[in-house]
A and B are shown apart, each in its own frame.
Chain A
Amino acid sequence: MSSIGLPHFLIVGAALFALGMVTVVTRRNAVGILMGVELILNAANLNFIAFNHFVATPGSLAGQVFSIFVIVLAAAEAAIALAIVLAIYQTFHTIDVQDTDLLRQ
């Protein structure tokens, strides 16, 4: 059995992405969807780190920097998104995305 390589990280990242994706697509609760989005973002972060480690020029920190940006943005995003969810709740009295279909018109 060889040491843990890039494919293993990618598999974990893909699994994480897939789980996040499924959460986003299937959950009807807006907060749930938000959680799914966090999973997807972290899957991306995992990939950044992995590629930085295995593929990029040694000594480069580009992957880590990106990850940190993503984490920061995710925090900001979560804050804004939760605010939006609150606004939706105030408008529709629900946070079920099936019922908030105003775009349809």
Chain B
Amino acid sequence: MDHPTTSTLLTWMTFLPLGGAALILPLLLLRASGAVTKELGDQICRVIALTASGLVLVLGFVLWRSFDPSNPALQFVQHGRWIPAYNIEYFVGVDGISITLVMLTALVSFIATIASMPWWPGNTHLDEHHFTQHGVPGYMAMLLILQTGMIGVFVSMDMFLFYVFWEVMLLPMYFLIGIWGGARKEYAAIKFFLYTLAGSVLMLLAIIGLYFNGPQELMDGRLVHTFNMIKMAQWGRAGGYAAAPLVLGFQFVRIAWIALFIGFAVKIPMFPFHTWLPDAHVEAPTPISVILAGVLLKMGIYGILRINYAILPQATKWAAAAMAVFGTINIVYAAFVCLAQKDLKRMIAYSSVSHMGFCLLGMSAFTQQGIDGAVLNLWTHGLISPMLFLIVGVIYDRAHHRNIEGFGGLAQQVPEYAGLLGLAFFASLGLPGLCGFVSEFTVFLGSLVQWQLLTIISALSVIITAAYYLWAIQRMMLGKLNPAYATMPDVNWRERLTLYPLGALIIVFGFYPKAIIDLIEGSLRNLILPLQ
């Protein structure tokens, strides 16, 4: 085989959370039989979830330490037969593009798990209706399954496996929003689920098309197609897919590209497929918003890079201008929409839409800086947006609403919270010294050379971004203290444990983004070489 098994680390990382979820099941039986009380059962579930995601984080750290950034090829490969009839393999591995996202997933999941714990002192505001208090075993199991799905998507190198994980991830998300969400949770959950599912149907069709038009190899004495992404990419680069027969009079590569792209664009989310995101975010409980913004949105861009860019370079070149235009629309349009928001969480959700546009713009320029910036933006946005959603969670837990104009003057009542909010907001608006700036700068630098006008229009959004964040700060934090919140408690330890690590990382990567860029650069260089 081309990629012999070298490590089982990724398998451990992927399935460890699933193992945790499996542990929770017998517990449910025990609880039902009355052998353990509800309280004890809940606590055990929480410990299991925390341990599992903590272990994944440790493994992620090990992965990072032992990854060789000078080698742009796949590392930590594990190979195994799965469904030989269709030559489907269990094939996992990471390269520079995915390792950052695997680490990000481990980190964000751990943070989200901490944020789901009602343990730390000072949680007096938590009442029995808080989502951390009801349906704990189910919640924790869903969280763990979700984690398996997410890591699985990033490590799969077999397209079928990729698709399976992609779908695995959807279901727990649906339940997490639909059961533990806010007032319109059913609407939001169904919208999220159906929207993503509609995208993945197109994706599935394209994957099947790629399979049957793809390379063949001799296995057990017969010629079979393959789902192996590496082989498909080699085939694609060599022009194999470009030579495929026309489909309904259109080139196969273009049809396949568009189908895949729409599937991924829903996830990014790209204008005009973005409207599920604000609803899902607004209704989801805080840790789920954290995961949604921190990890799930990254999958769209990851998929485009991993499949569209690597396997269909000809069509990618053909569609570059469209991607750049959509990226620009995302950036500017969503920034303006943010300005009109009254709901803090909705504003931040739209700002995620805006920031994901940077990725599209950067990667459509096919410059090293542009694509480096785009992938770096996945990482930086993956740090900043979870922090933003945690910030929203803090205020929502206390005030039970998120109306920006319903606060006022909070800075003097909750100074520590105000400081953290300022850090997160300024990081998101791209203040130099915080990591958001680095990716914005690199993306714009890389894209300007190809799309001058679009880049300039997009760069204008930095003004709008500053305006809506500062205006939000002003309405919430400055001015006279709203007497309704004269006794609002400042952040507690649970919130500190989630916010401070993210804040520290935001600053560290603001001054040393090299740690990330060095990991990704080699693989991305290979990715865009055929595109230039």
Q: Do chains A and B touch in the complex (CB under 8 A)?
A: no
